């Protein structure tokens, strides 16, 4: 994509984020707020995971620390400390930075799996310790504060909080982007690709990695502080492993090899949670499924796959690719429909409500309602429908993949240049 196209796209997104929210209801404003926070969290995580190649499974720790730091500052402002409310995330940044320097110093002594385990242990340490430290983390119930008015804003509405979050997220994203343009940002990539060469060039890899870790933790702290600011409360559950898991999901589904990939993942998943969590109890299952499928078939994430197509837009033979892509899309939709049907059927048939229904029907299998129809568990149609959807969909996808591979065989040169690039990135 040309620089001009990127600029136009970026401006459009930015304008949309600024202009749209007043016309949305509070639920959507809240969802956008969550999206922004998740995006920043994922971006800061990706600095470590994607750019430096250090996979952390405990980033919830720095997110949580940022949140608690912001709440403590919030309480202090309530008691009369003369600091402007919009500067609250600075407390998160500072706390995240300090925690990041300490934790990073130790964690980066190891690499690979051992690094992942150290970060995991640190987060678990916080998670199991926090409930016992009443003063710092408020025990099991956590601590809460109040956003104090500042300069005419009283931060009472969701919209005001949203704009504050937006401002912080834009500033932090710009800083993180600028970071990648600095020589140190280049060194970060070099550490991922070949640490030995970096050592030979005379850099101290350990200190560099500690700095990267600390910067990443600092921005995670800002994200945590923003969340604390909008919720006005936080408890030790912020340190839980599923918070760390979420950010891993965001980043790798979006694409860790791209700067904005994690944002894509964070937006997609928070939007997904916002829209789907009301409709079905199994949305976490779908989330896990999407993650595993992306890991299997698009190792560079969805963003990575899109970026590949954008980058090679001119070289790709669209007249030959359009048909298999269309077939794959239809196949994908059929498979999705089949999976959703089966999952929801299982969720209903094994649910408590259905057990009661069966009790009323004296042990028989009464009909159940799903997707606007009623289905009988004993009728073959109920099972033949999803089965045919799945089989038909998979058949179509396989056919499409074969066609796409045939096309690519003809473009072997192009393919080779791509694998070279991917090899460097991996």
Residues within the interface to another protein (CB under 8 A): 53, 55, 57, 106, 109-110, 112-114, 116-118, 120-122, 124-125, 128-129, 132-136, 241, 245, 248-249, 252, 282, 284-285, 287-289, 291-292, 295-296, 299, 343, 346-347, 350-352, 426
For another protein, the closer CB: 3 or 296? 296
Q: Give the phi and the psi of residue 153 in degrees, each rounded to 5.
A: -90, 135
For the CB of residue 82, give the shortest distance to another protein in the complex, in Å: 28
Pairwise CA distance, residues 16 & 3, whole Å:
20
Nearest CA to 39 out of 169, 167, 211, 195 is that of 169
| Angle, in degrees to the nearest 10, between helices 301-311 and 261-276 | 130
Q: Alpha-carbon distance 219 to 56, whole Å?
A: 15
CA 45 to chain centroid, in Å, comes to 9
Q: At what angle do helices 241-254 and 261-276 cross, to 10 degrees?
A: 120
Q: How far is the CB of 311 from another protein (least distance, A)?
A: 20
Nearer to another protein, 225 or 253 (CB): 253
Minimum CB–partner distance for residue 356 and another protein (Å): 13
Beta pairing partners, 234? 143
Beta carbon nearer to another protein, 83 or 117: 117
By C-beta, is 77 or 103 nearer to another protein?
A: 103
- The partner residues of 144 in beta bridges, in order of sequence, read 233
Asked if 229 and 73 touch (Cβ cutoff 8 Å), the reply is no
Classify residue 149 by its DSSP letter.
P
- Which CB sits closer to another protein, 110 or 312? 110
DSSP 8-state code for residue 51: I
Collapsing DSSP states into helix, strand and coil, what is residue 368?
strand
Q: How far is the CB of 137 from another protein (least distance, A)?
A: 10
CB of 83 to another protein, least distance (A): 25
With vertex at residue 258, the alpha carbon angle to CA 256 and CA 259, rounded to the nearest 5 degrees, is: 105
Nearer to another protein, 128 or 154 (CB): 128
| CA dihedral (40, 174, 123, 258) positive or negative | positive
In the bound complex, what is the minimum distance in angstroms from residue 296's beta carbon to another protein?
A: 6
> Least distance from C-beta 158 to another protein, angstroms?
30
Q: CB of residue 84 vs another protein: minimum separation in angstroms?
A: 30
Residue pair 368/349 in contact (Cβ under 8 Å)? The answer is yes
In whole angstroms, the minimum distance from the beta carbon of 350 to another protein comes to: 5
Query: Residue 38 in contact with residue 265, Cβ under 8 Å?
Result: no
In the complex with another protein, the residue whose CB is nearer, 200 or 350, is 350
Please, what is the minimum distance in Å from the beta carbon of residue 153 to another protein? 36
Closest to another protein by CB, 151 vs 296, is 296
- Strand positions, DSSP E, 107-156: 143-144
Which run of H or E residues covers position 10?
Answer: helix 3-19
CB of 20 or CB of 199, closer to another protein: 199
Contact 100, 62 (CB under 8 A): yes
Taking the C-alpha atoms of 30, 36, 37 and 43 in order, what is their torsion angle to the nearest 10 degrees? 160
Name which of 347 and 407 has its Cβ closer to another protein. Answer: 347
């Amino acid at each position: 994509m040309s620089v001009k196209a990127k600029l136009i796209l970026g401006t459009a997104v930015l304008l949309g984020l600024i202009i749209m929210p007043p016309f949305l209801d509070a639920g959507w404003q809240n969802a956008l707020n969550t999206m922004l926070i998740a995006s920043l969290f994922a971006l800061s995580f990706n600095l470590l995971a994607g750019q430096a190649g250090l996979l952390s499974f405990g980033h919830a720790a720095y997110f949580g620390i940022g949140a608690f730091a912001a709440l403590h500052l919030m309480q202090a402002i309530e008691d009369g400390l003369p600091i402007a409310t919009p500067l609250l995330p600075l407390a998160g940044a500072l706390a995240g930075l300090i925690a990041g320097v300490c934790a990073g110093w130790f964690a980066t002594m190891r690499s690979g799996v051992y690094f992942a385990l150290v970060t995991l242990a640190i987060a678990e340490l916080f998670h199991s310790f926090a409930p016992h430290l009443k003063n710092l983390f408020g025990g099991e119930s956590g601590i809460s504060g109040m956003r104090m008015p500042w300069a005419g804003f009283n931060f009472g509405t969701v919209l005001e909080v949203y704009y504050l979050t937006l401002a912080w997220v834009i500033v932090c994203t710009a800083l993180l982007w600028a970071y990648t343009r600095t020589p140190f940002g280049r060194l970060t990539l070099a550490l991922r690709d070949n640490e030995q060469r970096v050592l030979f060039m005379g850099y101290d890899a350990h200190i560099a990695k500690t700095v990267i870790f600390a910067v990443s933790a600092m921005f995670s702290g800002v994200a945590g502080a923003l969340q604390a600011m909008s919720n006005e409360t936080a408890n030790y559950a912020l340190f839980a492993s599923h918070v760390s898991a979420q950010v891993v999901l965001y980043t790798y589904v979006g694409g860790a090899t791209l700067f904005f990939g994690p944002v894509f993942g964070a937006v997609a998943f928070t939007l997904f949670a916002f829209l789907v969590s009301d409709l079905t109890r199994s949305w976490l299952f779908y989330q896990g499924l999407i993650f595993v499928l992306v890991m299997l078939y698009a190792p560079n994430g969805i963003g990575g796959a899109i970026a590949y197509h954008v980058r090679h837009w001119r070289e790709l033979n669209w007249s030959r690719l359009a048909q298999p892509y269309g077939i794959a899309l239809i196949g994908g939709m059929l498979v999705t429909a089949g999976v959703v049907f089966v999952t929801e059927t299982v969720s209903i048939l094994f649910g408590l409500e259905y057990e009661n229904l069966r009790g009323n029907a004296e042990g028989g299998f009464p009909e159940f309602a799903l997707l606007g129809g009623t289905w009988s568990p004993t009728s073959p149609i109920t099972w033949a429908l999803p089965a045919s959807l799945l089989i038909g969909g998979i058949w179509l996808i396989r056919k499409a993949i074969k066609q796409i591979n045939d096309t690519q065989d003809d473009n072997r040169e192009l393919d080779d240049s791509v694998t070279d690039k991917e090899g460097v990135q991996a």
